Chain A
Amino acid sequence: AIQMTQSPSSLSASVGDTVTLTCRASQDIKNDLGWYQHKPGKAPKLLIYGATSLQSGVPSRFSGSGSGTDFTLTISNLQPEDFATYYCLQDYDYVWTFGQGTKVEIK
């Protein structure tokens, strides 16, 4: 199965900061990657699909980039509601795989 590696595993940031999360695939997955936000006790939420497309209703401070094996999620002007765990998910292979997550915490 394709391995997805996210970094960092956690980070601390302040409201208003810009943060960049990375996800690396163990092989070329074209642009078949999504980013999801997950808060405890809630359902995960789709932010980005196709590596760069912003899901309808998601604030424009979220953006995705990359293709092939290296991908990034950038959150600009971090808001209090953005503190959560973020996961990448590859759907290139028949067997999909998540990264291990990046927890974004309040500094």
Chain B
Amino acid sequence: EGQLLESGGGLAQRGGSLRLSCAASGLTSRSYAMTWVRQAPGQGLEWVAGILSGGLTDYADSVKGRFTVSRDNSQSTLYLQMNSLKGEDTAVYFCAHRRGPSDGLDVWGQGTTVTVSS
């Protein structure tokens, strides 16, 4: 079924940057889409960004212009470059995989924690 493993979380200063990575293994077919989802402390899930296999990207309004999602297909790795970080970006960040255009997010990583301090 495959696995996803996030890394790159940690403590960042307000206005600073972090880059998250998501390494995929065992996924037998090229994914249709990969996404980032986050959960702030005590809050629900929030879709953050997505990238299709062709490279088309989309972002939630809350991160547009500050975050950039990209993927390295040769290394089966998804990235999230986070710039101009704000306190409200503090969250656990999950990456997730979508096999086909009619499928759901069927494989998820365990999450990596980002804390933005003032």
Contacts and interface: CB of A to CB of B under 8 A. Distances in A.
B45 A43 contact: no
B104 to A, nearest CB: 3
B104 A98 contact: no
How big is chain A's contact interface, by range? 20 to 34
Contact of A44 (B59, B61, B108): B108
B104 A96 contact: no
Contacts of A99: 44
Interface in A38-92: 38, 42-46, 48-50, 55, 85, 87, 89, 91
Given A1-B61, A95-B61, A34 B47 contact: no
B44 A49 contact: no
B104 A94 contact: no
B25 to A, nearest CB: 15
A48 B59 CA distance: 24
A89 B105 CA distance: 10
B45 A49 contact: no
Interface string B53-93: 00000111100000000000000000000000000000000
28 contacts: A1-B60, A34-B105, A36-B45, A43-B110, A44-B96, A44-B105, A45-B108, A46-B104, A46-B105, A46-B106, A49-B102, A49-B103, A50-B102, A55-B104, A55-B106, A85-B44, A87-B44, A87-B45, A89-B104, A89-B105, A95-B47, A95-B60, A95-B61, A96-B35, A96-B58, A98-B44, A98-B47, A101-B45
